[in-house]
A and B are shown apart, each in its own frame.
Chain A
Amino acid sequence: GQNIDQPTEMTATEGAIVQINCTYQTSGFNGLFWYQQHAGEAPTFLSYNVLDGLEEKGRFSSFLSRSKGYSYLLLKELQMKDSASYLCALGGTGFQKLVFGTGTRLLVSP
């Protein structure tokens, strides 16, 4: 099976930097995804790591260490609109399936 752990909730201030961690236990996966989900809306894709290391995409960066079973999403220059849930997910092998963590609810305050 697969197990994914994320903090339930985080708070941060507008303009700051926040790091959302994700740890996992799995027998195998193809890649690690991060999705953003605003309340009542669909999840939207943020980033995808296949290899160890850092992937940067504008204000968002994601890091993966397969040997440590660890990933993080880094959000810089926080904006109020970044208040949302952030979902870490493992990409399955054999067929297309994502196994999601429970998500981290981020609240950005002025």
Chain B
Amino acid sequence: DAGVTQSPTHLIKTRGQQVTLRCSPISGHKSVSWYQQVLGQGPQFIFQYYEKEERGRGNFPDRFSARQFPNYSSELNVNALLLGDSALYLCASSPRGTAGTGELFFGEGSRLTVL
């Protein structure tokens, strides 16, 4: 069975540009979460979507947005990129959307470098 897949795996952008990252959850999983991991730190929560609705949002500026499609895949968009947005962006899926129950299954991530 395929795990969580993310694309692209690596990308380089310049300041001020916009980026779209994509995630396909494990088949049957309806919840998708996005995390940002800066080098040397733990992942930081950005968004959770369940059944195509935003369930939670972390402490990130409005430049960050996301959506979930009818097939439960998801996109994360970041506008007006800053150097500090350089990080590994992780997508995680789960069969349930409820709080704190069960494990999250992470994809390999999209490594974004902003120059």
Contacts and interface: CB of A to CB of B under 8 A. Distances in A.
Chain A partners chain B: yes
Given A42-B107, A102-B40, A92 B56 contact: yes
A97 B108 CA distance: 19
A30 B42 contact: no
Interface in A68-96: 87, 89-96
A48 interface: yes
Interface residues of B, number: 31
B44 interface: yes
Given A96-B94, A97-B33, A103 B42 contact: yes
A99 B59 CA distance: 12
Interface stretch (B12-20, B68-76, B78-86, B98-106): B98-106
Interface of A: 4, 29-31, 33, 41-45, 48, 87, 89-103
B87 to A, nearest CB: 13
Contact of A31 (B42, B100, B107, B108): B100
A43 B100 contact: no
Nearest to B91: A42
A93 B43 contact: no
B42 to A, nearest CB: 3
A100 B45 CA distance: 9
B90 interface: yes
Contacts of B42: 4, 87, 89, 100-103
A31 B29 CA distance: 21
